Structures are given as C-alpha cells and as structure tokens.
Amino acid sequence: MMIKKIRALRVPYLFPVLILAFGGCGQTGRDGGGRALVDRTGSQISVPAKLERIVSTAPSNTEIIAALGFADKLIALDPYSAGVEGITGNPVLIDFAYPDGELILGLEPDIVFAAGHNRTVSGADPFKLLRETGISVAYIPTSVSIDDIYRDIRFIAEVLGVPEKGEQMVKDMEEQIGAITKAGAAIREKQSVYFEISSFPTMVSFGQGVYLDEMIHIIGALNIFAGEKSWFSPAAEVIIERNPDVILTLADPADGREADLPGEMSGRPGFGAINAVRHRRVYSIDANAASRPSHHIVSALKQMAAAVYPDIFPAF
C-alpha cells in the first residue's frame, strides 16, 4: 500500500482532530438550576447561573474562552493551553489525553469544557464522576470544518452568557475568510500544495474532511491529496510523483534542525526532484494557528495565502 491510514498519532499538541470524538450525556448543574443547553455532541447540559471556575482541556477551546473575556476564570488547563494569550495566575495543569477526574472534582469547577480526544484516547469518559456529582461537562468534539469552528465559538459564547461576542468573532472571521475566498476564486493558474503535518520519516498529511484542506481550496490552490480522506501517512514515492509546486509545513525554522527547510527536504531520498524543493518554495506555517480549530485559523490562512501566492496576497 502506498498510503497508510492513521488511527492516532502522538504529535505533541497537534491535531487532536486525528482522533474521532464522541460522548457526553445529560446532566444537571450542582445548583439544581441554570440554563439548559445542548452541547456540541447533542447532549443536554445545565449551565450554572454563575461561572467563576472554568476548566478547559484543549487549547482551541481555551483560546476561544480567553478571546471571549473569561481567561481569568480558568482554574485548570491542559499543558498546551498554558501559553494562550490572556491566561493569568497559575491554573492547575491537567493531563491532555488522560485528565484526572478526581483532581478536577477537587478543584470544584462550575463547568468543564471537555474535548473529543479526552474520551477517545482514554477509552472511557474521564468526567463520569464529575457529571454524577452534578458538575456540568460540555463536550466539544474536534472540528473538521470551518463551519464547525463557527459552531464551537457560538456554543462556547452561549455557555458563557455572551452570545453577542461569539457572533462578532464569527462575523470577523467570515469577513476575513470571505475576502481571501474571493481572491482565491479568481486565480486561474492554481498551484499544487503538499501540506506536511509530521515530517520525515513518518510523513503525515490530509485529504478531505479536514479544515486545512478546505483552507487550501480557499486560497485558490490544489491539495495534492484532495482525493484522500482525513489524516493519513503518504509514502514518499507518492509525494515525489505528485510533484507539488509548494510545500507547507508545521516545522519551525527557528528550530536549529529546521533552519533550512528546503535544504532539509532536499536531503530526503528523491525529494530534491520536487518542484517545490528545487525552487525553494517550502514555507513554515505557525503550528498553533494551523493545528487548533479556533478563530486563530485565520492567521494560518493568511500565512498560507501569502506563501503560495505572494504576488496576489500581501505578506502577513
């Protein structure tokens, strides 16, 4: 087989989307009241009237919570959320894949914003104990489309009681993405793109059903793996054969090993013949902006557009 499907990858903080997420069930707030809402899995939750102690288990959710003005209410976070702008104080750090339900229960949160990877990686619902004691747990499966991200923002804003702020965030995203979409649609000579999530020797990329594939189309380019589904590990021979014009990567050029991205790729067997490598059209995209399904994908989209079509899109 030239292409191997990936079930789960241990890529630090990148794409909990790689793991399908399901879960959540009805619950009642500890105060016995609150607003009744439906979380992103379709399960009913009861949101307490006051939200002073919030837990977030995924950086994408944390970014949205912080942008909505509730960073100071976060009492516990996954480790990858620690660097999110606006976080203050010293929130307790909880395990990303295996959050400790008893530890979180002891923190007495008003609500937990859980992510799809929590349930899937652990093989069970780690928040069962919390739900049984009446603590609200709102599950947000990792989004696979830009529309899903809009829904996440609106949902989190509704839970936090600031729906108007959520709508404004979505509106701002729609306006910026719309402008890029319009410009991308006018491009006739489309560049082909290989987007590398994990590098050699176990390369990982994506096809349909991933918001990054959607973003490649928005900027007016062609994903060389558009015919594939979701996340997968392509063979080097397939990448070489499809000969992309541009390579986008999450490798950080600030890292000594990746200081010369085209040079690194030219050292791989056969990669020196790829157009993108020969013409040194290998560009780094901010890993946090690209890998976290939040409003910050707009930043990654602008970087992608400027890298692939520098004459059409201004540098960002």
Q: What is the pLDDT of residue 121?
A: 57
DSSP secondary structure of 46-87? EE-S----EEE-SHHHHHHHHHTT-GGGEEEE-GGGTTSTT-
Mean pLDDT of 293-314: 95
Q: What is the pLDDT of residue 240?
A: 97
Mean pLDDT of 244-270: 83
**pLDDT of 86 over the 80 cut:** yes
**pLDDT of 235 over the 80 cut:** yes
The mean of the pLDDT values for the chain is 86
pLDDT per position as a tens digit, 90-108: 999 998 888 888 899 999 9
Q: What is the pLDDT of residue 315?
A: 60
Res. 255 pLDDT band, cuts 50 70 90: low
Q: Do 2 and 238 touch, CB atoms closer than 8 A?
A: yes
Q: What is the pLDDT of residue 257?
A: 53
pLDDT per position as a tens digit, 43-56: 888 899 899 999 99
Mean pLDDT of 276-294: 95
Q: What is the pLDDT of residue 16?
A: 45
**pLDDT of 274 over the 70 cut:** yes
**Alpha helix locations (H) across the chain?**
59-67, 101-106, 116-122, 128-132, 146-159, 163-185, 211-218, 236-242, 261-266, 275-278, 287-291, 297-308
**Rounded Cα gap, residues 285 and 241, in angstroms:** 24
Structural domains in the chain?
A: 20-141 (3.40.50.1980), 189-308 (3.40.50.1980)
144 three-state secondary structure: coil
Which position has the higher pLDDT, 2 or 260? 260
Looking up tokens 């992309």 gives: 244
Mean pLDDT of 223-232: 96
Cα distances from 60 to residues 56, 116, 207, 249, in angstroms, run 9, 12, 21, 20
Q: What is the pLDDT of residue 119?
A: 67
Question: Strand 246-249 vs strand 282-284: parallel, antiparallel, or unpaired?
Answer: parallel
pLDDT per position as a tens digit, 161-206: 999 999 999 999 999 999 999 999 999 999 999 999 988 888 999 9
Which position has the higher pLDDT, 219 or 117? 219
Q: What is the pLDDT of residue 7?
A: 39
Q: What is the pLDDT of residue 123?
A: 64
pTM of the entire predicted model:
0.86
Least confident of 6-10, 77-81, 207-211, 253-257: 6-10
Res. 307 pLDDT band, cuts 50 70 90: very high
